[in-house]
């Protein structure tokens, strides 16, 4: 990953991606996401995403159809199996927390829909209402986390596969007792399904399909290693998650109304910080279809 600003000219103005930390993340200027992206703008944004893993855009003003059009430029839309979308535009999922909710949606280090055979490739999150302080999101670079492992650890984990499931609520402090990962959200309508305990296997070390870089592929949805018990798996899983989320691999984004984050779920974990009790936060999220990790 480069740590230099990325400049690409479009018909209007240059698109500039300026890193916000040494590990990952860049703030992008020179693009209006409400307007269709020409080929040069698309190439610039996609290239910056591969370079920086997560991109941030400020002061955007999009209608839901405009947000959807921007997302479709980068791939087919993925529908969350447990959370319905907006009535008029089901491709957009509204993430809402009010003073009636015990915790926000998305707490805990995770990559989106890791419990599926083909997890989401990318996520686009658009801030509609934010608290005056709090509600930041943390991101971590799983490429850098893998690269920093010792050669011995890399050899040991090379062939391991993980078992992942949706209902990971017991791993989150303050989760609704008995409600699991998708319980305790009074302000969001959730699909009641019986498959939250369905298990999916993935390689622990994933190769990015576009860059060829290796990354740890692990998060709160990871239950255990295949062929091992949960108790046997826990020490190494805990170590790897703690390692992957060290401060030197992370960045932190403070939301403002009109901000957009676009991240690559194939190499990034994110974590919504629960520090704004009694305040309101409303976001519009779109996820893009991904492929089977290898």
Q: What is the pLDDT along the chain (294 residues), one digit of tens a residue?
A: 444 444 433 445 689 999 999 999 999 999 999 999 999 999 999 999 999 999 999 999 999 999 999 999 999 999 988 788 899 999 999 999 988 887 778 889 999 999 999 999 999 999 999 999 999 999 999 999 999 999 999 999 999 999 999 865 444 444 443 344 545 556 666 666 555 567 899 999 999 999 999 999 999 999 999 999 999 999 999 999 999 999 999 999 999 999 999 999 999 999 999 999 989 999 999 999 999 999
Tokens of 177: 């007792």
- pLDDT at position 106: 80
pLDDT of residue 4: 44
What value, to the nearest 5°, has the Cα angle with vertex 93 and ends 89 and 99?
125
Whether 110 is catalytic: yes
Which is the catalytic residue, given 112, 167, 264, 274? 112
pLDDT given at position 10: 42
Judging by beta carbons within 10 Å of its beta carbon (0-12, 13-18, 19+), is residue 193 exposed, middle or buried? exposed
Give the 3-state secondary structure of residue 206. strand
Strand 26-29 to strand 54-57: parallel, antiparallel, or no bridges (unpaired)? parallel
CA of 256: how far to CAs of 57, 274, 288, in Å? 10, 16, 23
Q: Is 112 a catalytic residue?
A: yes
Which one is catalytic: 110, 202, 281, 284? 110
Name the one residue in this structure whose structure tokens are 């610039």: 44
What CATH number labels 6-288? 3.60.130.10
The answer to whether 49 and 15 are in contact (CB under 8 A) is no
Active-site annotation holds for 280: no
Its sign, for the CA torsion 190, 191, 195, 198, is negative
What is the predicted pLDDT for the residue at 173? Answer: 42
- Residue 210 sits at the vertex; the CA angle it makes with 205 and 167, to the nearest 5 degrees, is 45
**For the whole prediction, is pTM greater than 0.75?**
yes
Instruction: Report helix, strand or coil for 262.
Output: strand
The 10 Å CB-count burial string (b at 16+, else e) for 250-284 is bbebebeebbbbbbbbbbbbbbbebebeebbbbbb
Q: Which of 270, 274, 281, 284 is labelled catalytic? A: 270
Phi, psi of 238 (to 5 degrees): -60, -45
pLDDT of res. 197: 64
Q: What pLDDT is recorded for position 102? A: 75
Q: What is the 3-state secondary structure (H, E, C) of 12-72?
A: CCCEEEEECCCCCCEEEECCCCCCCCCHHHHHHHHHHHHHHCEEEECCCCCCHHHHHHHHH
Q: How many CA atoms lie within 13 A of 135 on its CB side?
A: 25
User: Is position 285 annotated as part of the catalytic site?
Assistant: yes
**Cα separations in angstroms, 43 against 151, 234, 277:** 35, 41, 40
């Amino acid at each position: 990953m480069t740590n230099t600003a990325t400049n690409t000219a479009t018909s209007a103005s240059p698109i500039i991606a300026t890193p916000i930390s040494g590990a990952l993340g860049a703030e992008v200027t020179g693009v209006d996401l409400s307007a269709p992206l020409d080929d040069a703008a698309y190439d610039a944004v996609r290239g910056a995403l591969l370079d920086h893993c997560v991109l941030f855009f400020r002061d955007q003003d999009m209608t839901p159809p405009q947000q959807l059009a921007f997302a479709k430029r980068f791939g087919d839309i993925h529908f969350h199996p447990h959370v319905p979308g907006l009535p008029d535009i089901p491709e957009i999922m509204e993430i809402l927390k009010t003073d009636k909710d015990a915790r926000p949606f998305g707490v805990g280090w995770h990559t989106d829909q890791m419990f599926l055979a083909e997890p989401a490739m990318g996520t686009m999150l658009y801030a509609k209402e934010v608290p005056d302080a709090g509600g930041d999101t943390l991101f971590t670079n799983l490429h850098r986390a893998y690269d920093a492992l010792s050669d011995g650890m890399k050899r040991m984990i090379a062939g391991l596969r993980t078992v992942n499931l949706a209902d990971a609520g017991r791993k989150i402090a303050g989760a609704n007792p008995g409600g699991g990962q998708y319980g305790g959200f009074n302000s969001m309508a959730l699909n009641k399904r019986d498959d939250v305990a369905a298990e999916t296997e993935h390689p622990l070390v994933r190769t990015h399909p576009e860059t060829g870089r290796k990354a740890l592929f692990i998060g709160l949805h990871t239950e255990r290693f295949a062929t091992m018990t949960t108790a046997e798996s826990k020490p190494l899983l805990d170590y790897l998650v703690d390692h992957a989320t060290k401060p030197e691999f992370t960045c932190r984004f403070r939301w403002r109304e009109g901000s957009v984050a676009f991240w690559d779920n194939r190499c990034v974990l994110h974590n919504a910080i629960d520090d704004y009790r009694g305040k309101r936060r409303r976001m519009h999220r779109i996820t893009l279809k991904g492929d089977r990790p290898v």
